[in-house]
A and B are shown apart, each in its own frame.
Chain A
Amino acid sequence: GQNIDQPTEMTATEGAIVQINCTYQTSGFNGLFWYQQHAGEAPTFLSYNVLDGLEEKGRFSSFLSRSKGYSYLLLKELQMKDSASYLCAVRDPNAGKSTFGDGTTLTVKP
């Protein structure tokens, strides 16, 4: 099975940098991805890591260490609109099945 852990809540200040961690223990692994979900809305895709290292996309970066079962999402130059839930998910080698963590609710304050 899959076990994915993320902090439940985080708070940060506008303009700052925040790192959201995700650890996983899985029977199989074929990639880790991050989604953003604003309250009352559907999740939207942010990033996907299948190899170790850092993937950068504008203000957002995602890091993966497969040997440690660890990933983080880094958000730079925080904006108020970044207040949302961030979901970490691991893809099962049995293509089509992915397990999501419970999400981290990020609140950005002025």
Chain B
Amino acid sequence: NAGVTQTPKFRVLKTGQSMTLLCAQDMNHEYMYWYRQDPGMGLRLIHYSVGEGTTAKGEVPDGYNVSRLKKQNFLLGLESAAPSQTSVYFCASSPTGEIEKLFFGSGTQLSVL
């Protein structure tokens, strides 16, 4: 039982490049989330999904897109990376009956030069 798996763990991009962060969970959770965390700050919600085929905007959605084609996967895309998107990205999931209990992946450190 792997829980929540994120790939890659580290990535360096040049301004304007695109990339996709992958998140997979094997706990059959309905809810999935993408957060970013900047130094000394809490987690800010980028996008989330309440089920397969659905997505919704969080606090800081600009510059990101997401897709939830399969229940177990939640993809975060950056179409044209900017230095302001340098951050640690966390994916999380939660079960329907306990949506307050987030299970986090180990994070992706992204640097945009």
A-side interface residues toward B, CB under 8 Å?
4, 8, 31, 33, 35, 41-45, 48, 87, 89, 91, 95-103
A94 nearest in chain B by CB position: B56
B6 nearest in chain A by CB position: A42
B-side interface residues toward A, CB under 8 Å?
31, 33, 35, 40-45, 48-50, 56, 58-59, 90, 99-107
Q: Which of A31, A42, A44, A99 is close to B100, meaning CB atoms less than 8 Å apart?
A: A31
Give bound CA distance, A79 to B99, whole Å.
Answer: 29
Give bound CA distance, A102 to B37, whole Å.
Answer: 9
Structural contact, A42 and B107, CB atoms closer than 8 A: yes
- Would you mind naming 9 contact pairs between A and B with Cβ atoms under 8 Å apart? A41-B106, A41-B107, A42-B90, A45-B100, A87-B43, A95-B50, A96-B99, A101-B42, A103-B40
Q: A101-B42, A102-B41, A103-B42 are in contact. Are A96 and B100 (CB under 8 A)?
A: no
B94 nearest in chain A by CB position: A96
Give bound CA distance, A41 to B100, whole Å.
Answer: 19
Q: Which residues of A have CB within 8 Å of B41?
A: 102-103
Structural contact, B102 and A99, CB atoms closer than 8 A: no
Structural contact, A100 and B44, CB atoms closer than 8 A: yes
Smallest CB separation, B90 vs chain A (Å): 6
